[in-house]
Amino acid sequence: MSKETIKAKAKLVIVDDIDTDQIFHQSLLTIHDPNEIKPHIFGNLEGYKSFGKEDNVGKILLVGKNFGKGSTRQQAVTGFIAHGITAIVGESFGPIYYSNSVNSGLLLVEVPGISEFKVKEDDNLEIDITQSLIINQNNGETIKCVKIPQPVLDIIEAGGLLKLGEIM
Amino acid sequence: MTSFTLIEKIIRNRTDVSDSEIYPNNIVWVNLDLVTARDYAGPQVIDLFQKNYIGSKTFNNEKVIFTPDCYPYGNDPKHAKDQEKIRVFAKEHGIKVTDLGSGIGSHLLFRRGFSKPGDVVIGADSHYNILGALGILGQGAGDVMLAFALKTGKSWIKIPETVKIILKGDYEWPTTAKDLALYVLKELHEYGITGKAVEFYGAIIDKLSIEERVTLCSLITEASGVIGFVPADKITADYYSKIGIEIEMLSADEDARYISELVLDIQDLGQYIACPPHPHNVKKIEEVMGTPINSIVIGSCTNGSSADIHDAAKILKGHKINPNVRFGIVPATREDFVSINLNGDMTIILESGGNFFGVGCSTCAKGQYGLTGGETAVTLTTGNRNTQGKIGPADVYLASPVVAAATAIEGKIAAPKEVVKR
């Protein structure tokens, strides 16, 4: 991943208040292998239950408000990494989900007012980390995102928090 | 001299950075007072620790506790193996275990004095922020953060902005702390506290017991907030003095910078219920009165204390549970179980047709008590989550122990006042 920009196609799951139980259901908690987690992602989210079987490798996932609220479960992050999702962009995230993602090396980008951003499935998006901007290359729309804090970029750059722990 | 909110002050006392680094949205490393994990996530934390830090010791074995509280004793070979993994690792590293039957970890932390006001604690439980009720910065954390913390004794936190909440007025029984918590959740979800901390103030706070404060703070997670604090006061100090611990009453500075201030009028607050499909879908109980219910659980870190069970026992005394209802009680801790034995509440509930199912968590995850399997099992719990499909395929309502008891008698959502009058 380049540090300055990320370019990828958009995958839309614009639903507010998606709970971790809708991402990865509690009945599956004894599953920990990323490849086994993968097919169950959004398995309890009406309208998106086929997500687990789709190919969304390399895409940027667009979500709504309070994404990942609910339980502390790491699998709700691991599953998107297994799918090869590059980053998740949303209006806001559950605080535990935010740290779980960063710790696993998955970038989350907060965008206040994301519902105003005109984007269609598979539009080509660019996240400009330096300028804190998201650009839709298909229609030229841009929107400001919250500046990604440096420690977050450092953890992601290190390959996740556990790597940092080796030297602490 | 800079002034600080409560969370800023707690973080400031537990970090190596200077005061100029303590401001909202900045990310800082904190030195943890305690790291815990349980039979859910704990085994994965151990796996990650052993895989990434081969041959390492934990940062301080006296600052780690394993609190298996999720799964019952020997109900599933996979869970039994996970629980054993915790015991083996704990023995090897000299770590304390509050084993099955002890209770919900977050509750044991204050009941047994493992944590005190001003401490920073993380665990594999998204409701660890109930510890805010005692002025403890408790946070839920995922497997990766916990494995890292076991090794380093540190975690990172994005310092949240704080909303000051003033609860204005008073309410009367049968309105309880759960109704207050549900009403506050409804208001805060609408107001928007994602990623924010809140501090509760108001005359009502002086009347709330520790258990009631825990209930009030327990639904902040459901509004995507970081934590709700009741700053430590005389009630907190008295609570800790009973277990021989002297505390510091840490409070926010008078001129602390809050992002906003919200006054919530709770005068003559009625009774509230969270309706499907989200905890924040809170309505006045009158709107759903009469809805048939056939599975009821009193328990969870929100409302599983002996005081909660006592509330239910008062309603149930001399009544029978409706034959269409399965009614289960799961006390939060062993101490709560002992209390309801001593005061006779357990007998009252058993005679009314209620059932007891051990001690610990309930209605929250696979393998726990209180889950249902069918489309026809409509549930009411005193817990904190009713997300679609979590407890079972059918609808789930969240309400107070008094509403749960009244509903158990009627077989449909009922107000306690009506039941008691008869």
Same domain, yes or no: B25 and B143: yes
Domain membership of residue B37 (yes or no) is: yes
Domain membership of residue B315 (yes or no) is: yes
In the numeric block, which tokens belong to residue A111?
A: 């965008």
Per-residue pLDDT, B416: 85
Query: Pairing state of beta strands A107-110 and A124-128?
Result: unpaired
Domain membership of residue B144 (yes or no) is: yes
Residue B124 has pLDDT above 50, yes or no: yes
Touching A: B residues 289-328, CB under 8 Å: none
* Distance from the A21 Cα atom to the nearest Cα atom in chain B, whole angstroms: 7
Distance from C-alpha of A94 to C-alpha of B83, rounded to nearest angstrom: 28
Same domain, yes or no: B167 and B222: yes
Is the pTM above the cut of 0.90?
Answer: yes
Which of these three, B265, B300, B335, is where a domain ends? Answer: B265
Contact A98 B142 (CB under 8 A): no
Q: Which of A10-14, B53-57, B416-420 has the lowest mean pLDDT?
A: B416-420
Nearest CB partner across the interface for A29, out of B142, B152, B366: B366
Same domain, yes or no: B293 and B224: no
Decide if B3 touches A, using CB distance below 8 A: no
Same domain, yes or no: B261 and B285: no
Distance from C-alpha of B280 to C-alpha of A92, rounded to nearest angstrom: 17
Length of chain B: 422
Same domain, yes or no: B126 and B104: yes
Nearest CB partner across the interface for A165, out of B41, B139, B148: B148
Per-residue pLDDT, A3: 66
A/B interface, count of CB pairs below 8 Å: 129
Same domain, yes or no: B13 and B106: yes
Per-residue pLDDT, B367: 76
Contact A104 B158 (CB under 8 A): no
At B259, which CATH number? 3.40.1060.10
* Distance from the B267 Cα atom to the nearest Cα atom in chain A, whole angstroms: 30
CB atoms within 10 A of CB B176: 24
Domain membership of residue B210 (yes or no) is: yes
- Which domain range does residue B326 map to? 273-421
Domain membership of residue B98 (yes or no) is: yes
Per-residue pLDDT, averaged over B327-356, amounts to 98
Domain membership of residue B1 (yes or no) is: no
Number of domains composing chain B: 3
Length of chain A: 168
Per-residue pLDDT, A2: 46
Domain membership of residue B203 (yes or no) is: yes
Per-residue pLDDT, averaged over A126-142, amounts to 96
Which of these three, B158, B174, B194, is where a domain ends? Answer: B158
Q: Is B16 exposed, middle or buried (0-12, 13-18, 19+ CB in 10 A)?
A: exposed
Per-residue pLDDT, averaged over B341-359, amounts to 97
Number of domains composing chain A: 1
Same domain, yes or no: B326 and B353: yes
Same domain, yes or no: B279 and B409: yes
Chain A: residue whose CA lies nearest to B124: A72
Residue A120 has pLDDT above 90, yes or no: yes
Same domain, yes or no: B49 and B61: yes
Per-residue pLDDT, B421: 47
At B124, which CATH number? 3.30.499.10
Domain membership of residue B118 (yes or no) is: yes
Tens digit of pLDDT for each residue in B202-240? 999 999 999 999 999 999 999 999 999 999 999 999 999
Per-residue pLDDT, averaged over B80-90, amounts to 96
Same domain, yes or no: B179 and B196: yes
At A74, which CATH number? 3.20.19.10
- Which domain range does residue A42 map to? 5-165
Which of these three, B124, B158, B192, is where a domain ends? Answer: B158
Per-residue pLDDT, averaged over B78-89, amounts to 95
Tens digit of pLDDT for each residue in B165-175? 999 999 999 99
Same domain, yes or no: B39 and B177: no
The residues pairing with A62 across neighbouring beta strands, listed in sequence order, are A12, A89
Same domain, yes or no: B146 and B63: yes
Per-residue pLDDT, B30: 97
* Distance from the A10 Cα atom to the nearest Cα atom in chain B, whole angstroms: 24
